[in-house]
C-alpha cells in the first residue's frame, strides 16, 4: 500500500466551502490589500498544514482562489465587468508589482501561471 501525504479531497471540499462562505465577490467595497489582510492568516495556515509534503496537490485549490479574486475584480471595477480573462490579467499585473501581497502568491500560486522562482 502506497501512502502519499497529500491534502485529501474531503479537506479540499471543506476548505473550498469556507472560501465560498467568505463571499469574496460581494466584498467590492474593500480594496485588494484589505482582502489580503482579512484572509492571509487563514490561507497561510492551510499552506502550512496541507502544503508540507505534497505541494502540487494544494496548488490546484490555491489557483481557485485566484479565480475568486478575479470575480471580485469583475464586480469591483466597471471596466472588468463580464471580462474574467481581463480581470485575471489585471490580477497577474498586480501580482507582478506586489508578489508578496497574498500568502498563496508567495507559495507559488500566482495568477499569471509563473512559479515563484521562474521570473
- Measured CA to CA, the distance from residue 11 to residue 8 in angstroms comes to 5
As a whole number of angstroms, the longest Cα–Cα distance in the chain is 53
Per-residue pLDDT of the chain (119 residues; tens, 9 = 90+): 666 777 888 888 999 999 999 999 899 999 999 999 999 999 999 999 888 888 888 888 888 999 999 999 999 999 999 889 999 999 999 999 999 999 999 988 888 865 544 44
- Measured CA to CA, the distance from residue 75 to residue 106 in angstroms comes to 25
Q: How far is CA 25 from CA 10, 35, 49, 79, in A?
A: 24, 11, 26, 16
- Are 84 and 75 a contacting pair, CB within 8 Å? no
Predicted model pTM:
0.84
Amino acid at each position: 500500500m502506497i501512502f502519499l501525504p497529500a491534502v485529501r479531497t474531503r479537506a479540499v471540499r471543506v476548505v473550498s466551502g469556507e472560501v465560498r462562505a467568505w463571499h469574496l465577490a460581494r466584498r467590492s467595497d474593500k480594496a485588494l490589500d484589505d482582502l489580503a489582510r482579512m484572509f492571509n492568516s487563514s490561507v497561510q495556515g492551510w499552506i502550512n498544514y496541507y502544503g508540507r509534503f505534497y505541494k502540487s496537490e494544494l496548488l490546484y485549490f490555491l489557483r481557485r482562489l485566484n479565480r475568486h479574486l478575479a470575480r471580485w475584480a469583475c464586480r469591483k471595477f466597471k471596466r472588468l465587468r463580464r471580462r474574467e480573462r481581463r480581470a485575471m490579467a489585471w490580477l497577474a499585473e498586480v501580482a507582478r508589482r506586489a508578489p508578496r501581497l497574498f500568502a498563496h502568491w508567495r507559495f507559488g500560486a500566482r495568477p499569471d501561471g509563473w512559479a515563484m522562482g521562474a521570473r
